Chains A and B, each alone.
Chain A
Amino acid sequence: DTGVSQNPRHKITKRGQNVTFRCDPISEHNRLYWYRQTLGQGPEFLTYFQNEAQLEKSRLLSDRFSAERPKGSFSTLEIQRTEQGDSAMYLCASSPTGGYGYTFGSGTRLTVV
């Protein structure tokens, strides 16, 4: 296992289209997190899962955003009806149950044109 894997690395989409990103965590990690990072800023928390249960969602996660983690393994983040303000780097991280010591993936950079 080489770490947290995110696909695609880059995504360009037209405003109004739907996009879906995938995250494969480190296999023995029960927790999975999604963060969003805009240029020149630190990552902002979006949501996290303990196994397949989504335990917390940020107010940043509008109705257009949905995340899933079926079977407690990989996770997907979908953005419906994309807007230019959605342009950002979307980061996924995983950690053991205790939570300490996130491992981040390299992110998916979304550009909405």
Chain B
Amino acid sequence: GENVEQHPSTLSVQEGDSAVIKCTYSDSASNYFPWYKQELGKGPQLIIDIRSNVGEKKDQRIAVTLNKTAKHFSLHITETQPEDSAVYFCAASKDSSASKIIFGSGTRLSIRP
């Protein structure tokens, strides 16, 4: 089955700097790649997603890139702020309607003031 690997497991960046989280997936049939942010005591929250027919997507300070050939996708957060501190999960789905999503193991992002 699908396997999603995520790194780094922890990341600390200075406020205002950029953060990059990288993921790889194993199943070339995967075609939907969401990213989730999880704060303490809460469920994961969808922050951005990308489908396999698109190579890059931006939403304000957040961008995702997808390299289907290499089976890599990445999350980029620019101008980081204290409220960006959280655990971030990448995920992949090969179901055409995303009924089953496989998550990575998460990255704990800390923003240093």
Q: Are B99 and A31 within 8 A (Cβ)?
A: yes
For A102, list chain B residues within 8 Å (CB).
Answer: 34, 46, 98, 101
Interface centre among A40, A41, A99 (most CB of B within 10 A): A99
Q: Chain A residues near B106 (CB, 8 Å)?
A: 40-42
**What's the interface size class on A, roughly?**
20 to 34
What is the CB-to-nearest-CB distance from A20 to chain B, in angstroms, rounded to a whole number?
A: 19
**Interface size grouping (class) on chain B:** 20 to 34
**Contact status of A56 and B104, CB under 8 A, knowing A106-B42, A107-B43:** no
Given A40-B106, A41-B105, A44-B103, answer yes or no on A100-B98 (Cβ-Cβ < 8 Å).
yes
A91 touches B32 (CB 8 A): no
Cross-chain contact A42 with B49 (CB below 8 angstroms): no
Q: Which of A42, A48, A56, A91 contacts B43 (CB 8 A)?
A: A91
Interface residues of A in 65-107 (CB under 8 A from B): 91, 93, 95, 97-107
Whether the pair A56, B103 counts as a contact (CB closer than 8 A) is no
On whether A55 and B99 interact (CB within 8 A), knowing A42-B91, A100-B32, the answer reads yes
Do residues A100 and B44 form an inter-chain contact, with CB atoms below 8 A? no
Contacts of A16 in B (CB 8 A): none
9 more CB-based (< 8 A) A-B contacts, given A41-B106, A105-B43, A106-B41? A42-B89, A42-B104, A42-B106, A43-B103, A55-B99, A95-B98, A99-B97, A99-B98, A100-B49
